[in-house]
Structures are given as C-alpha cells and as structure tokens.
Structure 1
Amino acid sequence: MDFVITVCDKAKGEMCRVWPGQPMTAHWGSEDPAAVEGEELTRLNAFRTAFREIENRIKIFVALPFASLDRLKLQHELDRIGET
C-alpha cells in the first residue's frame, strides 16, 4: 500500500496501526451517515453527502502532480485535501 486514508470522524486522534511498507497516512474525516437519525430522506441525504465529500476528495487526490511532489509536499497535499 502507498496510502492509508481514514474517513470516519471517530478515527481522528486514534492511534493508527502500523501498515506494512510505511504508506503515507491522512485523515479525511466525514460525519458518519450511519449515525444519523430521523426520517428515511434525512438518512439518505446523510449518505449522499458523505459520498460526495469522499468522491470530491478522491478526484482532487488523483489529479495531484505526483511526479513533481516530494514526500513532504505530498503529505501536505493529503492533509490539505482532508480539510476541504
């Protein structure tokens, strides 16, 4: 693995396990849609919102100029994506 990205807000601040090969890690927190209560439409919209957030972050990630980024700059970009 080259990258490990956590998305659950509950995972932020937890100790991340050691991954083989020392992949880069980032946290792209998103509210847990499974924790949303209410009517079906409210819960469905929570899942749609989480999906859009993750999809947008992945699009930004795959558009990065990997060949021109050193490891430190790439880590900075991974962290920045998680703030969007």
Structure 2
Amino acid sequence: MNNRAWRKARTAAGLSEVRVHDLRHTFGMRLRAAGVDLEDRQDLLGHHNGNITTHYSKVEIACLIECVELLCCEGHQRPELTLLKRA
C-alpha cells in the first residue's frame, strides 16, 4: 500500500518514513502488552501461522526486566544457589 492518499496522510502526520508494516508491528506489540492472548492476536493480525504472530508481537525488554526484578525485590526470599556434582 503506497498510493497517493497514503503518502499524503503520512506527510501530513509528519511520519513520511512509516510503513504499513510498522503500524502492524506496533498493533501486535500493543495487543500483547494489553494481555490479548496469542489466538486472538493471530486472528486480529490475520495470520494462519502462530509463529508469524509471535514475530509481530515480541515482548518488550522493559517487561523482561520487570520479570527479573521480581526475584530481587525486598520481602521476597531469594533462592539459594545449589551446586550439583556428579558422583
């Protein structure tokens, strides 16, 4: 999709370099951030293959950092490191 109306709208919005693909990727990421499950995201993005859907909605690094921070918060017991050795 690169017709005159699309180019004119991008220019008017100050987003002349934005592609439809970029909007689709953002849509997928925002769906995931909102907690929409994979199957629904797949339908909304029009994918037949779930692997493609996950490509469009990768987890953001901030979310991964928050998950790791859960282990370091005060009030949570930190797991001990256990060294296993073969006999």
Instruction: Decide which structure has greater strand share.
Output: 1
What TM-score do you get using the length of structure 2 for normalisation? 0.26
Q: For CA contacts below 8 A with separation 6 or more, give which structure has more relative contact order.
A: 1
Higher Rg of the two aligned structures? 2
